[in-house]
Amino acid sequence: MIPQRHDSSRVGLLGGSFNPAHDGHRDISLAAISHLRLDAVWWLVTPGNPLKRDGYDYAPYEERLATARRVANHPRIVVSNFEDRKGLQYTVDTLETLHEFWPQIHFVWLMGADSLEGFHNWKDWRRIAALVPIAIFNRPGHESAATASAAARELALFRAPMGRAAEIVDAYPPAWTFIETTQNPASASEIRRNRSGRAPE
């Protein structure tokens, strides 16, 4: 039997630059609401991603927020400037701060399979996995991430099958699942390239 926490709201957290936000972000969020039985998804728009290389071309922060709100267009998707207001840069610090503010909420971290491939490079990634359950969403071309990535291999014993995905939200972490059905190929980097007319990097 999976240990249960006190009853409370179930909230998915989707962090990122949203540079720009696109339908792929929205599709992941709607899939999370459905598969994980969430009350809401919060988009945490970061002021700056520490893993992005020097010279990364960010649109102005307020523009990224406005675009995200326009793309989200759903009553259960909340676009938040929490990290900017609190001066947070790293996911592990954001999660610890969120737990301090809302200890009663069942948070679950959401991310695409492409992010899972590099998850072991995130600051204190094991601490992140110990703080919240994690739901990974398939992206075309990254289907093997659930088994091939370094973090997935290390956390293999804590993986729940997609058919039981909703259970991870109430479980004590580490706990994670891979949602195989999402197939949106949208990419923020591709959108930026198309806008600028640059060749693929």
Residue 33 is part of a domain; what is its CATH number?
A: 3.40.50.620
Q: Are 111 and 134 in contact (CB under 8 A)?
A: yes
Identify the pLDDT of residue 182.
87
pTM, rounded to two decimals: 0.88
Is 201 domain-assigned?
no
Is 167 domain-assigned?
yes
CA–CA dist 77, 80 (Å, integer): 10
Please name the residue that has the structure tokens 């679950």: 108
Q: Give me 99's structure tokens.
A: 């737990």
Domain ranges, residue 155: 10-194
Pick the closest to residue 113 from 183, 48, 58, 165 (CA basis). Answer: 183
**How confident is the prediction along the chain (201 residues), in pLDDT tens digits per residue?**
334 444 579 999 999 999 999 999 999 999 999 999 999 999 999 987 666 655 567 889 999 999 999 999 999 999 999 999 999 999 999 999 999 999 999 999 999 999 999 999 999 999 999 999 999 999 888 889 999 999 999 999 999 999 999 999 999 999 999 999 988 665 555 554 555 554 433
**Which residues does 8 contact at the CB level (< 8 Å), separation at least 6?**
104, 105, 106
Is 2 domain-assigned?
no
Is 199 domain-assigned?
no
**Diameter of the chain by CA atoms?**
54
Q: Give me 15's structure tokens.
A: 């962090």
Is 200 domain-assigned?
no
Is 5 domain-assigned?
no
Is 57 domain-assigned?
yes
Provide the domain count of the chain: 1
Is 153 domain-assigned?
yes
Q: Are 155 and 128 in contact (CB under 8 A)?
A: no
CA–CA dist 129, 54 (Å, integer): 27
